[in-house]
């Protein structure tokens, strides 16, 4: 019980630090000005006998200090601020939680080494088939335009201006030719001249010119 201690006249006052080496934590009591070590308590497990809480306060603890020559002693320590006592507890808990995680990782790694190993390599003569039919390379997709489809591969021209497609209207007829004074209009003036008929080809061709 901390109430049995002489709290108004502590035998020593200073600072407390927690360090770690491997899986062991060290609670060090040091001079607050010079940093000289006053005593230290190695902690191999928490909670444990190396550091214990008192029954009547959350700010006081009992530490088992060692001098490195085999001599041990139990002393009582306390924090003025309750928040510092809370941080002291959390620091020890975090360290031994890390120690537990490292131990589990090492055990899992050892189980994997001892277990059967998977052979993921190719056997002799074994092949693998990849289907890349859907991987088509697109080249110039944004630079080309599709050509309009026409009859026989030809494109259709737009209708001439003035005509209305699909309306059924006939274009305006050509104006009649100018009539000269005293000249009657006949059909010959309105008809286009017909081309002269080509002369009939000689049926014998070059054979008519052959001698004999």
> Hey, what domains does the chain have and what are their CATH numbers?
2-114 (2.30.29.30)
25 DSSP assignment: E
pTM above 0.75, yes or no: no
Q: Is 47 left (phi over 0), alpha (psi -120 to 50) or beta?
A: beta
How far is Cα 96 from Cα 201, in angstroms, rounded to an integer? 119
| Helix intervals (H) in the chain | 82-114, 187-190
CA angle 96/25/49 to nearest 5° reads 80
Kindly state the tokens that stand for 73: 């002693």
Q: Phi and psi of 52, rounded to 5°?
A: -135, 150
Going residue by residue through the chain, which has 212 residues, state the pLDDT in tens, using 9 for 90 and above.
888 888 788 889 999 999 999 889 999 999 989 989 999 999 988 888 999 999 998 899 999 999 888 899 999 999 988 999 999 999 999 999 999 998 888 888 877 777 666 667 777 777 877 777 666 555 445 555 555 554 455 555 666 665 555 555 555 555 555 555 555 555 444 555 555 555 555 555 555 555 55
- Burial class of residue 92 (count of CB atoms within 10 Å of its CB; 0-12, 13-18, 19+): buried
What is the Cα Rg of the chain in Å?
A: 56
How far is Cα 169 from Cα 9, in angstroms, rounded to an integer? 123
Cα–Cα nearest to 80, from 15, 1, 25: 15
DSSP 148-169: PP-GGGPPPPPPPTT--TTS-P
């Amino acid at each position: 019980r901390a109430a049995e201690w002489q709290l108004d006249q502590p035998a020593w006052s200073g600072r407390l630090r927690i360090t770690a080496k491997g899986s062991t934590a060290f609670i060090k009591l040091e001079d607050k000005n010079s940093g000289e070590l006053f005593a230290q308590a190695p902690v191999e497990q928490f909670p444990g006998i190396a550091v214990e809480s008192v029954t009547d306060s959350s700010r006081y603890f009992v530490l088992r200090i060692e001098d490195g020559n085999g001599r041990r002693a139990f002393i009582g320590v306390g924090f003025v601020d309750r928040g510092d006592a809370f941080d002291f507890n959390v620091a020890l808990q975090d360290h031994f939680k890390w120690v537990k995680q490292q131990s589990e990782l090492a055990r899992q790694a050892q189980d994997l080494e001892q277990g059967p190993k998977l052979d993921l390599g190719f056997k002799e003569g074994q092949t693998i088939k990849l289907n890349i039919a859907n991987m088509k390379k697109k080249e110039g997709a944004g630079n080309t335009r599709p050509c309009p489809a026409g009859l026989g591969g030809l494109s259709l021209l737009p209708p001439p201006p003035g005509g209305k497609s699909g309306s059924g209207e006939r274009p305006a007829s050509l104006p009649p030719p100018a009539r000269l004074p005293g000249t009657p209009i006949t059909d010959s003036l309105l008809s286009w001249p017909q081309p002269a008929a080509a002369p009939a080809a000689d049926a014998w061709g070059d054979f008519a010119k052959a001698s004999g």
